[in-house]
Every structure is written in C-alpha cells, then in structure tokens.
C-alpha cells in the first residue's frame, strides 16, 4: 500500500469516518481552486466553449469535485451543476468541499448512474488491500476485493423526470471506470431530447472488466445520432473513424 493510502487508513482508524471526511473535505477545498491539471487546459477550454451562464451541467463520476467546481464557476449563480459520485464517502467530502469553497450551485448526489434502478457493489479496497481513490469501480465477478460497499444506482432518464431543469443541460462529463455502457443504456430519452455535449473517458480494459468492449459503447452512442471525436493531448479533435478494440482515452461526443 502506498504511503498516502496508508496514512489515510491510519487517520480513518484513529478519527473515525465523520472527522476524516471533514479533513478530506478541507484538503479538497484547499486543493481544488489551485488545481491546474484537473480539468486540464484543453478540458477547461471545452467547458468555456460549451457552457454559458445559466446552463445546467452534469458531472458523472465527480470524485473530489474538481470538474464540478470549474463548471459551477462557468454557469454562475443562475445555472446549476448536478454531480454524481457513487462512493458515498467521497460524495459527502465533495459536497462539503463545495460548501467550504463557497460554491452554492453544485449539488452532489451519492448515487451511481446506470441502465436500471438497482443496487451494486463497488470496490473500496482491491485484492492487495490498497484503498482505491479515483479508481473505485463496480465490482466484477472476477475480482476478490478486500472491501466492497453496496450502493444505489439510478437511471439518468428517471432522475431527469424528477429534475425539470435537466432539460437545459448543455454539457456532461463522464468518468466512471468502465461502467459507460450501463450509463448510456439508461439515457436514451435524455440524449434524444436534450442533446448535451458529452466528454467521456472510455478505456477498453475497464470495459472488459464489466463484460464488454469499448466498441460496444461506441456503437450505442452512434445509435443516439452522436458523433465521436478522439482528443489529442493538446485538445485537437479528430473524428473517430473506426471502433478501437484496445487502449482508451477521453472522447468528445457531439449530437448531429
């Protein structure tokens, strides 16, 4: 286990989850406004290009809330960011960090988004005992993690019916460690009526953990009349002309 993960485990055992979460939130609140790599420069350019004051944005796989913070600043007090974080502990810490930062237009929901309303297990500590951070994911049958947690899954279609303002969604960031196929199976009505621009990480080996390939995600997205663009490190967009079977990257998904 890395020194950083080991320290976190020690603090958690000494202080308990509530105080540890508050310290985590304070650390995130200090770090997030100073972060220069998440979102990266070309990703911040996407936020500026596709979001305007008063818009609605979605942060699916919010983790610390770096993207939520940046998007909330962009849409301003007349807009709103709905953030979704599947790990309840991170959701509480991110929500508290937003409060400390003075962000009042970002709401963090402690749920995952998928194909059906259900419960799933997520991996908190892997087979080696390492406490995961940005790599928390839905457990697969092939894994033997040392710690899991049961969490709730909603469909975005169902969630949108309860939040009318989502009809104004202009931009959606997705980073959910291989669960993209499930997510996009639960957004048919939302995507075909709202048509947000989507910035999404799709990694083939993470998809395989969930029993499919990246190509299956691309095929589903194309079926919603979306174009898929690969993104170079400098932000250059290139049309995806063939479905990748290996590797992975961040992709820009734009409606026709």
Digits of tens for pLDDT over the chain (256 positions)?
455 555 666 666 667 778 989 999 999 999 998 876 779 889 999 999 999 999 999 999 999 999 999 999 999 999 999 999 999 999 999 999 999 999 999 999 999 999 999 999 999 988 888 878 889 999 998 899 999 999 999 999 999 999 999 999 999 999 999 999 999 999 999 999 999 999 999 999 999 999 999 999 999 999 999 999 988 778 888 888 765 554 568 999 999 8
The CB density around residue 74, as the number of other CB atoms within 10 Å, is 19
| CATH number, residue 30 | 3.40.50.150
pLDDT of residue 69: 97
pLDDT of residue 220: 97
Give the burial class of 104: count Cβ atoms within 10 A of its Cβ; 0-12 exposed, 13-18 middle, 19 or more buried: exposed
Residue 252 forms beta bridges with which residues?
Answer: 199, 229
What's the rounded Cα separation, in Å, for the pair 31 and 36? 10
CA 102 to each of CA 28, 106, 206: distance values in angstroms, whole numbers, following the listed order? 13, 10, 35
For residues 7, 136, 71, 40, the Cα torsion angle rounded to the nearest 10 degrees is: 80
Total number of domains in the chain: 1
| Spatial CA neighbour of 188 closest among 157, 161, 165, 215 | 157
Is the CB of residue 133 less than 8 Å from the CB of residue 1?
no
Q: Which domain holds residue 66?
A: 3-255
pLDDT of residue 3: 54
User: What is the enclosing helix (H) or strand (E) of 149?
Assistant: strand 147-154
pTM: 0.92
Is the CB of residue 167 less than 8 Å from the CB of residue 160?
yes
Q: Among positive and negative, which fits the CA dihedral 203, 204, 208, 211?
A: positive
What's the rounded Cα separation, in Å, for the pair 58 and 228? 19
């Amino acid at each position: 286990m890395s020194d950083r993960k080991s320290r976190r485990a020690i603090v958690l055992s000494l202080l308990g989850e509530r105080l540890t979460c508050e310290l985590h939130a304070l650390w995130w609140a200090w770090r997030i406004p100073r972060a220069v790599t998440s979102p990266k420069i070309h990703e911040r350019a996407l936020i500026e290009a596709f979001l305007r004051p008063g818009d609605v944005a979605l942060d699916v796989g919010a983790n610390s809330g770096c993207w939520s913070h940046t998007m909330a600043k962009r849409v301003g007090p007349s807009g709103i960011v709905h953030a979704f974080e599947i790990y309840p502990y991170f959701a509480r810490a991110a929500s508290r960090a937003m409060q400390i930062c003075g962000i009042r237009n970002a709401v963090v929901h402690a749920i995952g988004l998928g194909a059906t309303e259900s419960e799933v297990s997520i991996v908190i500590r892997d087979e080696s005992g390492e406490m995961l951070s940005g790599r928390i994911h839905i457990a697969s049958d092939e894994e033997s993690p040392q710690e899991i947690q049961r969490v709730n899954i909603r469909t975005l279609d169902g969630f949108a019916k309860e939040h009318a303002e989502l009809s104004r969604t202009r931009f959606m960031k997705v980073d959910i460690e291989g669960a993209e196929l499930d997510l996009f199976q639960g957004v048919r009505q939302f995507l075909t009526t709202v048509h947000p621009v989507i910035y999404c990480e799709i990694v083939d080996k993470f998809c395989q953990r969930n029993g499919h390939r990246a190509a299956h995600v691309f095929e589903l997205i194309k079926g919603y009349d979306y174009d898929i663009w690969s993104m170079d490190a400098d932000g250059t967009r290139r049309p995806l002309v063939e479905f990748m079977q290996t590797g992975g990257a961040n992709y820009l998904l734009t409606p026709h």
